[in-house]
A and B are shown apart, each in its own frame.
Chain A
Amino acid sequence: MSETMQSAEPRVGVYVCHCGINIAAKVDIAAVVEFAKTLPYVIVVRDYKFMCSDPGQELLQQDIKELGLNRIVVASCSPLMHEATFRHATEAAGLNQFYFQMANIREHVSWVTADKALATRKSQALVSAAVRRVVLNEPLEHQKVPVKPNVLVVGGGIAGIHAALTLANAGKQVTLVEREPTIGGHMAKFDKTFPTLDCAACILTPKMSMVRSHPNITMLTYAEVVGVEGYVGNFTVKVKKKARYVHEELCVGCNECVEACVYKEGRFTDTFNEGLSKRKPVYMPFPQATPSVVLIDPESCIELKTGKCKKQCATACTRNAIDFTMTDEIVALEVGAIIIATGFQTFDATRIPQYGYGKFPNVYTSLEVERLVNASGPTGGEVQLRDGSTPKRVGIIHCVGSRDEKTNRHCSRVCCMYSLKLAHLIHERTDAEVYNLYIDMRTPGKGYEEFYDKLLKEGVNFIRGRAAEVTDWTVTPEEEGKLVIRAEDTLIGVVRRIPVDMVVLSVGLEAHADADEVRRLFNISCSKEGWFLERHPKLAPVSTFTDGIFIAGACQGPKDIPDTVAQAGAAVAEALALVDRGFVELEPNTAFITKELCSGCHTCIAMCPFSAIRYNKEAGVAEINPALCKGCGTCVAACPSGAAQQHLFTDEQIFQEIEGVLNYV
């Protein structure tokens, strides 16, 4: 069929979409239709309310069959939105799908142009370009490439854990890579979860233990992805396993070595407890750490720093698990799909100096208080001030590093709810008077508003207004020895001074400081704030612009645990859809060499970043391996003789498009 099509005179059908009023309100559809009728080879022009709908697709399919159309142009939205839709419709009507061309008159015209007459002209020019170009389109076939069945999950927080377990339960071999020495992420630090007040450990640690014991999961902790090569379905990933100085397979987590360490007491910052306690150079991150394996910190270990330690830890280990000669190790993985679930970091409260964090000892971040209320935390769940006393009055300041022009403009989504939860827990444990200072109370979620109601009834105080400062400058006797929160109470219109013993700063969620490096590693995009960018905010929320790489959890934007788990499930579904199909169809926009025109100058060979071009000595010409070509077209642009061309983007097609867009009517 395609042969007859090729030789036949082009018969173009043009379909102009109203997109409801998205296009029609700004573009004179009738004028575009009339204009399109004057373009060469155009047989029929129609317009329809929604071309992407079934009746819209049927319009062009019917015309292909009845009018013998062999080229289709749809003027509607972005090709990134619906090119695939219309290609399928074209193919289903018996025409090769690459005889289709799209003109983007929504994102690039109607949505961005103020003047209707000018928007109409711009649409006409884009339709003219598409018609000129489609005439030169050729029939092509998708290249089928097999997909590797294994999946990599990056990040061992609740998103990564849920994704890895679900994939493993579906029978896939999964590698879970976590940068910290244990999986668990932020959730492992929490005591209770809102709004149900489920014990976080009770719902998380069984999942962590399942990850460890699942036969289909390989867990690489204290490890980082350092290299990603390949493409959808066929990624080669390099993971650096940092030296723990403890053999994971030998260590049973008995902690004898920790006991034996020459440091009798912990001397170094325990990051798991947010710096509220000290650890030794050899340590277990936390009692339920998974894997249950100790590690030695080379920054603080005397043996690793100076080589002059009695090494009592090694002597104490009956299993000889400690090995000071251990070095970083590179592990290579072959996977078909990658799920990125690298989470978030909390806002650095010292960036807002007026709240006194780092200056006043009893100003805490919310994450520190999560550790204080946690039964396995540094105080065994007792809410204490730095001097060990129990606070009688506590102020919780919302939106610290959120909804703020000076720091982060976004709402971190979880802070209202976790502040309510902390208010409840503090009130329950200490009977303290608790004040919540909020801008707006945001509780959109199942059972969230009800939880807020419950807090109101519990007698927690709510003051609507952004706190101005936290100060130790006292003016009344009752403020003596306390911290004073100054804030405008916008509901009664007065500035209030609230004396408290403890201030909790509800710090917002931010993208990791190194999100940009991670993004580059995986060749995905991120927003200006550093959140990884989804392919489409509504219809492809876990896909990225790089096929085969999916995102889940707070690395995509602030979200709570239920949303994170749901998103992890969605990412798994997308990954399974890819690997279970067993093959991918690659866009046939590869480059090719016309032998007759090639002088064998080698220019293109140096251009190719994928080593897809080689020189054929016998023939004296360059040859492109379509399986390696990714379709960037850099070699085509460099070829001095025009021998290198790119399918779907030949020089002639682009020249026609240039002429078309310059066709100002």
Chain B
Amino acid sequence: MSDTPAFEPRIVAFFCNWCTYTAADLAGTARLTYAPNVRVVRIMCSGRLDPQFVVTALRQGADGVLIGGCHPGDCHYQEGNYKMLRRFHLLKRMLKQFGIDDQRVRLEWISASEGDKVQRVINEMVAQVRDLGPLALVGKPTPHPDASEKHAAA
């Protein structure tokens, strides 16, 4: 990527174990290719999504955050997705106040059988964030390659 001047966004995704993570597995089984910019962190339920995870991801260098949960009414834990939905709206308001375009954070309900939706949403989001450009936070740390930290840890 360092050879290409074009901006490639970094997107962190938080997918719930039961619906969206499984859908992403299904996209794989069905060999649906999509943009490689999104990296998935698995959580058991979208209700586990602490808004701090989103903020931390943006602070650590992500240009966007994608959240995937079960469709309303389908939560494996009854209502975790609703709890997350409330936090999500608050989080978006907060991000706006920080001057972060709220299009950088996206929530999608994707069921275990919707592998094609994973593909579509990821491609759309990567294109959208690519258009928005890099997230320019003041004092944003440049992510260090882990190699240098090995010595720090040792």
Contacts and interface: CB of A to CB of B under 8 A. Distances in A.
Interface of A: 38-41, 78-81, 104, 106-109, 111-115, 118-119, 121-122, 125-126, 128-129, 131-132, 520, 523, 525-528, 533, 537, 545-546, 589, 607, 609-610, 630-634, 636-638, 646, 649, 651, 654-655, 657-665
A116 to B, nearest CB: 10
Contacts of B146: 38-40, 128, 131-132, 660, 663
Given A38-B150, A525-B111, A632 B41 contact: no
A108 B24 contact: yes
Contact of B53 (A81, A131, A630, A654): A654
A528 B114 contact: yes
A631 B44 contact: yes
Interface string B37-73: 0011111110111111100110011100000000001
B97 interface: no
Given A520-B73, A525-B18, A658-B57, 13 more contacts: A38-B150, A80-B17, A104-B25, A107-B25, A107-B28, A108-B24, A112-B32, A113-B33, A520-B74, A610-B78, A633-B48, A636-B48, A654-B50
A314 B91 CA distance: 66
21 contacts: A38-B147, A39-B147, A79-B42, A81-B25, A106-B28, A111-B28, A115-B36, A122-B39, A125-B39, A131-B146, A525-B18, A525-B112, A537-B29, A609-B77, A609-B78, A609-B79, A632-B45, A634-B77, A638-B83, A654-B43, A662-B143
A478 B52 CA distance: 79
Contacts of B73: 520
Contacts of A38: 145-147, 150
A113 B38 CA distance: 11
Contacts of B31: 111-112
**Contact residue range for chain B?**
35 or more
A107 B12 contact: no
Contacts of B48: 632-634, 636-637, 646, 649
B114 to A, nearest CB: 7
Interface of B: 1, 10, 12, 17-19, 21-22, 24-25, 27-29, 31-34, 36, 39-45, 47-53, 56-57, 60-62, 73-74, 76-80, 83-84, 87, 111-114, 119, 143-147, 149-150, 153-154
A630 B79 CA distance: 13
Contacts of B61: 662, 664
A109 B35 CA distance: 10
Contacts of A633: 43-45, 47-48, 80
B33 A112 contact: yes
Given A646-B48, A658-B56, A637 B143 contact: no
A637 B24 CA distance: 23
Given A129-B39, A520-B73, A607-B83, A632 B44 contact: yes
Nearest to A109: B36
Given A40-B153, A107-B24, A634 B143 contact: no
Nearest to B42: A79
B28 A108 contact: yes
A54 to B, nearest CB: 24
Contacts, number: 174
A658 B150 contact: no
Given A112-B31, A112-B33, A654 B145 contact: no
A181 to B, nearest CB: 30
B16 to A, nearest CB: 9
A634 B47 contact: yes
A664 B24 contact: no
Contacts of A106: 28
Contact of A634 (B36, B53, B83, B144): B83
B113 A122 contact: no
Contact of A523 (B49, B76, B145, B153): B76
A61 to B, nearest CB: 25
Given A41-B153, A112-B27, A80 B21 contact: yes
A657 B88 CA distance: 21
A637 B47 contact: yes
B28 A78 contact: yes
Contacts of A630: 77
Contacts of B153: 40-41
Contact of A40 (B18, B29, B52, B150): B150
Nearest to A633: B48
A38 B145 CA distance: 9
Chain A CB count within 10 A is highest, among B36, B74, B79, B153, for B36
Pick the 9 closest A-B CB pairs, nearest first: A107-B28, A633-B48, A634-B47, A632-B77, A661-B39, A632-B45, A111-B28, A38-B147, A609-B78
B54 to A, nearest CB: 9
Contacts of A663: 143-146
Nearest to B111: A525
Nearest to B13: A661
A70 to B, nearest CB: 15
A527 B23 CA distance: 11
Contacts of B43: 633, 649, 654
A595 B50 CA distance: 20
A40 B144 CA distance: 13
A83 to B, nearest CB: 10
Given A38-B146, A108-B28, A128-B146, A533 B112 contact: yes
B58 to A, nearest CB: 10
A527 B29 CA distance: 15
Contacts of B12: 658, 661-662
Contacts of A81: 25
A654 B41 contact: yes
Given A108-B28, A121-B1, A126-B39, A527 B113 contact: yes
A526 B84 CA distance: 23
